[in-house]
Chain A
């Protein structure tokens, strides 16, 4: 079974700084997808960014980008020019590219952006 590990329970940075959240995963398969979800205090799950394992190019969405290292099974999230509204729990998640399997989530990183 696949596992997702987020080794940073909490991080705190100043507004406008850049922060990187780490995620590693373990799988023996080749076709899968990786995600970062944001969960603000409202507890809604908001998709931040998605990466297909077959793509070598790192995904980017505005201030959010990933560093996907397939051989190392690493998938870190970089937030540039951090804003107060980025304060939230961030979950890394994994899913196989088949059928109706569910997402496997990491335990999350609580990111705090300080004014």
Chain B
């Protein structure tokens, strides 16, 4: 079964450093998403991306965050200057259309630790 692949699985970074989280969505999917889950809390929507631009973003997705699809297969989330409170699991997801059928597939996540 097709999978959404995220790398790295765990990243440790110094506060103030830039990080790039990478995702390879399912190949025939057109909509891409990033979610965040702070430890012990619920999963929160960050941003959706379609046709090479942001479709929707939450209030969490401020100027420190950016997304990009640099080469037609990867989908990246960049945090420009990391803060301690950015420590969380970051999940990428994709769908074939802007609707949930046939499925909304999550990657296995990247655990970001900011020290």
Q: Which of A17-25, A58-66, A68-76, A98-106 contacts B (4 or more CB under 8 A)?
A: A98-106
Q: Write the chain B residue with the least CB distance to A4.
A: B42
Q: Write the chain A residue with the least CB distance to B51.
A: A100
**Separation of A98 and B42 alpha carbons in the complex (Å):** 23
CB contacts (< 8 Å) of A108 on chain B: these are 42
Q: A25 to chain B: closest CB distance in Å?
A: 13
**A103-B42 contact, Cβ under 8 Å, with A33-B100, A42-B108, A43-B111:** no
Q: Write the chain B residue with the least CB distance to A6.
A: B42
Total chain B interface residues with beta-carbon distance under 8 A: 30
Interface presence of B75 (CB below 8 A): no
**Separation of A95 and B35 alpha carbons in the complex (Å):** 14
Type the 1/0 row for A17-59, where 1 means its CB is closer than 8 Å to any CB of B.
Answer: 0000000000000000101010000111111001010000000
Checking A33, A37, A52, A101 against B48 with a beta-carbon cut-off of 8 angstroms, the contacting residue is A101
Q: Is the CB of B45 within 8 A of A100?
A: no
Query: Could you give 9 example pairs across A and B, Cβ below 8 Å?
Result: A35-B104, A47-B105, A91-B42, A91-B43, A97-B99, A99-B56, A100-B56, A101-B56, A103-B104
Interface presence of A78 (CB below 8 A): no
Total chain A interface residues with beta-carbon distance under 8 A: 26
Type the 1/0 row for B52-94, where 1 means its CB is closer than 8 Å to any CB of A.
Answer: 0001101000000000000000000000000000000101000
Checking A43, A98, A103, A106 against B98 with a beta-carbon cut-off of 8 angstroms, the contacting residue is A98
Interface residues of B (CB under 8 A from A): 31, 33, 35, 37, 41-50, 55-56, 58, 89, 91, 98-101, 103-106, 108-109, 111
Interface residues of A (CB under 8 A from B): 33, 35, 37, 42-47, 50, 52, 91, 93, 95, 97-108
